Structure 1
Amino acid sequence: MTLLDPPRSPGLTDLGPLAQLRAGRLPERLVRLMVGLVLYGASLALMVRADLGLAPWDVLHSGLVHHVPLTLGQAVVVMSFVVLLLWLPLREKPGLATVANALVVGFAADGTLWLLDRPDPLAARIALMVGGIVLCALATALYIGAQLGRGPRDGLMTGLARRTGLSIRLVRTGIEVAVVLLGLLLGGVAGLGTVLFALAIGPLTQLAMPWLVVDVGRRPPTEPE
Structure 2
Amino acid sequence: MTAIVPPTTLTEATVVAPTPAPRRALATLTPREQLRAGRLPRRLVQLVVGLWIYGASMAMVIRGALGLDPWDVFHAGVMAHVGLSFGEVVIVVGFLVLLLWIPLRQMPGLGTLANVVLIGVATDATLAMLAAPEGLAARGALLVGGIVLNGLAGALYIGAQLGPGPRDGLMTGLARRTGRSIRLVRTSLEVTVLVAGFLLGGQVGLGTVLYAVGIGPLVQLFLPWTIVELETE
What is the CA–CA distance in structure 2 between the aligned matches of 1:77 and 1:115, rounded to whole Å? 20
Contact kept, 8 Å, 1:173 with 1:199, in 2: the verdict is no
Contact kept, 8 Å, 1:170 with 1:202, in 2: the verdict is no
Contact kept, 8 Å, 2:75 with 2:197, in 1: the verdict is yes
Deviates more, 1:81-90 or 1:186-195: 81-90
What is the CA–CA distance in structure 2 between the aligned matches of 1:155 and 1:96, rounded to whole Å? 13
Contact kept, 8 Å, 2:108 with 2:163, in 1: the verdict is yes
**Aligned residue in 2 for 1:106:** 120
Contact kept, 8 Å, 2:68 with 2:205, in 1: the verdict is yes
TM-score (norm 2): 0.81
Change (3 A) 1:9 1:176: farther
Contact kept, 8 Å, 1:12 with 1:145, in 2: the verdict is no
Matched AA of 1:46 = M
What is the CA–CA distance in structure 2 between the aligned matches of 1:146 and 1:10, rounded to whole Å? 12
Q: Does 1:7 align with 2:25?
A: no
What is the CA–CA distance in structure 2 between the aligned matches of 1:173 and 1:206, rounded to whole Å? 17
Once the two structures are superposed, the pairs formed by residues 128-147 of structure 1 within 5 Å of their partners are 128-147=142-161
What is the CA–CA distance in structure 1 between the aligned matches of 2:101 and 2:19, rounded to whole Å? 36
What is the CA–CA distance in structure 2 between the aligned matches of 1:121 and 1:66, rounded to whole Å? 25
**Aligned residue in 1 for 2:90:** 76
Matched AA of 1:84 = L
Change (3 A) 1:208 1:159: farther
Q: Structure 2 unaligned runs (5+)?
A: 1-16
**Aligned residue in 2 for 1:223:** none
Contact kept, 8 Å, 1:172 with 1:202, in 2: the verdict is no
Please state how far the C-alpha of 1:197 moved relative to its aligned partner. 1.0
What is the CA–CA distance in structure 1 between the aligned matches of 2:114 and 2:185, rounded to whole Å? 23
**Aligned residue in 2 for 1:38:** 52
Over the matched positions of the two proteins, sequence identity in percent amounts to: 58
**Aligned residue in 1 for 2:62:** 48
SS at match of 1:39: helix
Structure 1 residue aligned with 2:108, among 86, 90, 94?
94
Please state how far the C-alpha of 1:127 moved relative to its aligned partner. 0.9
**What RMSD, in angstroms, separates the aligned Cα atoms of the two structures?**
2.6
Contact kept, 8 Å, 2:54 with 2:150, in 1: the verdict is yes
Change (3 A) 1:104 1:158: same
Please state how far the C-alpha of 1:144 moved relative to its aligned partner. 1.4
What is the CA–CA distance in structure 2 between the aligned matches of 1:207 and 1:172, rounded to whole Å? 19
What is the CA–CA distance in structure 1 between the aligned matches of 2:84 and 2:125, rounded to whole Å? 20
Matched AA of 2:115 = N
Please state how far the C-alpha of 1:172 moved relative to its aligned partner. 4.7
Please state how far the C-alpha of 1:162 moved relative to its aligned partner. 6.1
Change (3 A) 1:165 1:30: farther
Once the two structures are superposed, the pairs formed by residues 108-187 of structure 1 within 5 Å of their partners are 108-160=122-174, 166=181, 172=186, 174-187=188-201
SS at match of 2:202: coil
**Aligned residue in 2 for 1:23:** 37
Change (3 A) 1:103 1:78: closer
Contact kept, 8 Å, 1:12 with 1:213, in 2: the verdict is no
SS at match of 1:92: coil
Please state how far the C-alpha of 1:68 moved relative to its aligned partner. 4.4
What is the CA–CA distance in structure 2 between the aligned matches of 1:24 and 1:14, rounded to whole Å? 12
What is the CA–CA distance in structure 1 between the aligned matches of 2:19 and 2:192, rounded to whole Å? 34
Please state how far the C-alpha of 1:193 moved relative to its aligned partner. 0.6
Structure 2 residue aligned with 1:204, among 214, 218, 223?
218
**Aligned residue in 1 for 2:77:** 63
Please state how far the C-alpha of 1:141 moved relative to its aligned partner. 1.2
